[in-house]
């Protein structure tokens, strides 16, 4: 996702740092970050956050971690989420205006855990973050419109490359699901093949999400999805389960 560099980026992330997960090289601080214990879902490459905001509202019985490696992009997602939770809004100068009128301008807004809702964010590479999670700790993994990396030399960067699938298989609990949507035919074919050769069981798939009752029911559109649909591109989707 290409974006012009956002103004006040570092301070805007600092204002809402209460919604981010702290990580060191060897650990991710996830214990006690949510007010309620619920099964954990992960979205890889959350972009500007439409999907994570939508699904965390429509399926609130889960906790969610949204991963995104581009700081300027995840910032839009976090601010969108915070506003949707009634935690305030961005002012014209990049400060965060809390509901009680306090302005956070490069200082952490210490949002009480109960008010933070069921989503936390992490800015970084998905593979590094997943490597910090315990085995069998995740209920589902979502990846929407991830980069297809069409050149042969970059195959290992595709989020359905066997190296990624192995890591998903490790962190997912038995019966856990991998759910994917894409506009890209070659990437979809690659993903079907890669899943077919993995420990995952392909449960169902479609090459036209809007024509599929199963996939269109309750579907939450992402920013990219809306854009591709407006160009008449059919959305491909699949669900795969880990049996272990």
Choice from 140, 144, 191, 198 touching ligand SAM (CB under 6 A): 144
Is 67 a binding residue for ligand SAM by CB under 6 A? The answer is yes
Choice from 105, 107, 147, 163 touching ligand SAM (CB under 6 A): 147
C-alpha distance from residue 202 to each of 6, 105, 236 (Å) = 40, 48, 14
Is 68 a binding residue for ligand SAM by CB under 6 A? The answer is yes
CA-CA-CA-CA dihedral for 67, 70, 72, 74, to nearest 10: -10
Can you tell me the distance from the alpha carbon of 210 to that of 214, in angstroms, rounded to the nearest whole number?
9
- In the bound complex, what is the minimum distance in angstroms from residue 107's beta carbon to ligand SAM? 27
Q: Are the C-beta atoms of 153 and 194 separated by less than 8 Å? A: no
Identity of the residue, 79 or 225, whose beta carbon is nearer to ligand SAM in the bound complex: 225
| DSSP 8-state class, residue 6 | P
Can you tell me the distance from the alpha carbon of 8 to that of 91, in angstroms, rounded to the nearest whole number?
12
- In the bound complex, what is the minimum distance in angstroms from residue 101's beta carbon to ligand SAM? 33
Is 147 catalytic? The answer is yes
- In the bound complex, what is the minimum distance in angstroms from residue 144's beta carbon to ligand SAM? 4
Can you tell me the distance from the alpha carbon of 82 to that of 15, in angstroms, rounded to the nearest whole number?
11
Spot the catalytic one: 91, 105, 135, 147. 147
- Nearest CA-CA partner of 189 in 174, 176, 202, 172: 202
Considering only 61-69, 91-99, 130-138, 184-192, which stretch makes contact with ligand SAM by CB under 6 A?
61-69
Residues that bind ligand SAM (CB under 6 A): 1, 44-47, 67-70, 73, 125-126, 144-147, 222-225
Residues recognised as catalytic: 147
């Amino acid at each position: 996702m290409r974006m012009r560099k956002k103004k006040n980026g570092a301070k805007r992330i600092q204002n809402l740092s209460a919604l981010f997960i702290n990580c060191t090289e060897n650990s991710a601080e996830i214990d006690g970050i949510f007010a309620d214990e619920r099964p954990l879902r992960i979205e890889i490459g959350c972009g500007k956050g439409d999907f994570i905001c939508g699904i965390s509202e429509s399926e609130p019985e889960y906790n969610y971690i949204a991963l995104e490696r581009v700081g300027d992009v995840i910032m839009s997602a976090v601010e969108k989420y915070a506003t949707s939770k009634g935690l305030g809004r961005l002012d014209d100068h990049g400060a965060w205006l809390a509901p009680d009128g306090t302005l956070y301008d490069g200082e952490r807004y210490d949002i009480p855990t109960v008010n933070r809702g069921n989503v936390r964010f992490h800015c970084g590479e998905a593979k590094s973050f997943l490597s910090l999670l315990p085995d069998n700790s995740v209920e589902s993994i979502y990846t929407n419109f991830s980069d297809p990396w069409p050149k042969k030399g970059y195959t290992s960067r595709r989020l359905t490359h066997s190296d990624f699938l192995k890591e998903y298989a490790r962190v997912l609990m038995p019966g856990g699901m991998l759910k994917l949507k894409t506009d890209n035919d070659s990437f979809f074919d690659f993903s079907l093949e890669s899943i077919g050769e993995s420990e995952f069981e392909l449960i169902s798939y479609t090459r036209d999400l809007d024509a599929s009752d199963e996939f269109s029911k309750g579907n939450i559109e992402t920013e990219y999805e809306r854009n591709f649909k407006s160009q008449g591109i059919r959305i491909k989707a699949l669900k795969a389960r880990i049996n272990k």
